[in-house]
Chains A and B, each alone.
Chain A
């Protein structure tokens, strides 16, 4: 199926010239090509030559993802696969960075105007220091990371992320990059039909891709998106206002927010946890528990733990750790998230993993490039390690805080 998905425009989205658009399309096409055509070759290469070579050289079988990695890194096919994947990532960011750079002052002005008109709050504290796990390396090789500012009122890495992530996900997360939030919203609607949160917190929201669907689904709720990146929340605030869903955003650390105890009925995150750290993750769970009201829900949509997968799948996924500046990607999948939630104060019986089916079919026929066939081919895939987005749906970790009576007892 040819991927013709196109991102939906909004007032603060960087506009591309014809050549910029063509470079961006090439990066998206290259990623698609790697996943459809190069990725499937890894399995036969491993079975027919890398594994036998490993067994000959070591006198034992390859037991885990580390052994498989040792067996594969010297193989030319793997080298071309991994190198091309890395280069595609670099071309992707560069194709967007050049475009954003050309129009940055104008984008900043647009964002300023939209934010000034928005009734929603934008809190950016003076002297905020982001933690090392987002500044030591530029995560997923995005130049500047989430927090770099190159001028006053900068939104550049927010704009870079918005357009870059669309290309990274090849449009699989919908014309507004919001499939994760939309999928979790649908999940809530199906599984908790009477749930009406008064206040919602989206932790690690970046530019608010997944935050906006909550505003659509719960129009009466007070919604906050928080992120470590100042340029990200600035962009998010302007973007949400420009899309007609003004939402409150703040530069804040999910490990230690400034919200009062019991403030929210729903605390969510989307692809946040794997970009934190071994020390931060338990603190984020504890903070979610603290700010939740009795019977409130915590839902984290992220990557499934490694213990659910075979070693070869683990090996392919762990390439992100080694080649895409994702230092916590592998280690996070080794953590016992259910035990973490329990230690944070959630009742063990209320904690579980589940799957939230992708919402991409909702766009079929409604947005440019999202034909029934193209959207269906994304939604109906089997899970394949190394492809963007698990076929079948997003993995969600759900926990419910105890009732007030139980807490008082």
Chain B
């Protein structure tokens, strides 16, 4: 049986913050990259600490490493997953369009829900 897929975007038209077309998407991508750089830095830090505690010269081992087929596949899968997160706004944009979520629909919902 397939494993269940979680919903990954929030229903509701996403607001735009910048006047320049494309800048909102670019900003999102930059921040995802920032998150990933931070994540990598944490991982490198963890690796160095673990290795040091075990008395292993990690740097030399990294330089000498040969990637086998399984390692290549694992890395490619990770990169594709990374790119899906990097392009999350474009994916969300298409989903809004598909579900006909509009800025006007959002404003109408606020008015409708506030009605007493």
Chain A residues within CB distance 8 Å of chain B: 18-19, 22-23, 25-27, 29-30, 74, 79-80, 82-84, 86-88, 90-91, 93-95, 97-98, 100-101, 104-105, 132-133, 135-138, 141-145, 148, 150-151, 154, 156-157, 160, 277-279, 282, 321-323, 325, 327-328, 330-331, 335
A161 nearest CB across to chain B (Å) = 12
Which of A84, A160, A278 has a CB less than 8 Å from the CB of B27? A84
User: Besides A100-B6, A101-B5, 16 other CB < 8 A contacts?
Assistant: A22-B42, A23-B36, A23-B39, A25-B38, A26-B38, A83-B17, A84-B27, A87-B31, A91-B35, A136-B11, A137-B11, A143-B10, A144-B10, A321-B110, A328-B110, A331-B110
B100 nearest CB across to chain A (Å) = 13
Interface hub of B46, B88, B109 (most chain A Cβ within 10 A): B109
**Interface residues of A: mostly helix, strand, loop or mixed?**
helix
Q: How far is the CA of A105 from the CA of B35 in the complex (A)?
A: 27
Whether B46 and A104, one on each chain, are in contact in the complex, defined by CB atoms closer than 8 angstroms, is no
30 CB-based A-B contacts, threshold 8 Å = A22-B38, A22-B39, A25-B38, A26-B34, A26-B39, A27-B35, A29-B38, A80-B17, A82-B15, A83-B18, A87-B31, A90-B88, A94-B88, A101-B6, A101-B8, A136-B11, A136-B113, A137-B11, A141-B12, A143-B7, A144-B10, A150-B6, A278-B113, A322-B15, A323-B17, A327-B110, A327-B114, A328-B110, A328-B113, A331-B114
Q: How far is the CA of A142 from the CA of B18 in the complex (A)?
A: 23
Q: Does B115 contact A (CB under 8 A)?
A: yes
Find chain B residues with CB under 8 A from A328 CB: 110, 113-114
Which of A23, A88, A150 has a CB less than 8 Å from the CB of B4? A150
Q: How far is the CA of A335 from the CA of B28 in the complex (A)?
A: 35
Whether B15 and A23, one on each chain, are in contact in the complex, defined by CB atoms closer than 8 angstroms, is no
Q: How large is the interface on B (under 10, 10 to 19, 20 to 34, 35 or more residues)?
A: 35 or more
Whether A105 and B4, one on each chain, are in contact in the complex, defined by CB atoms closer than 8 angstroms, is yes
Q: How far is the CA of A19 from the CA of B38 in the complex (A)?
A: 10
Whether A83 and B39, one on each chain, are in contact in the complex, defined by CB atoms closer than 8 angstroms, is no
Whether A144 and B6, one on each chain, are in contact in the complex, defined by CB atoms closer than 8 angstroms, is yes
In the complex, the chain B residue whose C-beta lies closest to that of A334 is B114
Q: Does B106 contact A (CB under 8 A)?
A: yes
Whether B6 and A97, one on each chain, are in contact in the complex, defined by CB atoms closer than 8 angstroms, is yes
Q: How far is the CA of A331 from the CA of B111 in the complex (A)?
A: 9
Whether A22 and B4, one on each chain, are in contact in the complex, defined by CB atoms closer than 8 angstroms, is no
Which of A23, A86, A137, A145 has a CB less than 8 Å from the CB of B109? A137
Q: Does B19 contact A (CB under 8 A)?
A: yes
Q: Which 6 A-B pairs have the closest CB atoms?
A: A137-B12, A144-B7, A331-B114, A138-B10, A83-B17, A151-B4
Q: How far is the CA of A290 from the CA of B109 in the complex (A)?
A: 30
Interface hub of A137, A138, A279, A321 (most chain B Cβ within 10 A): A137
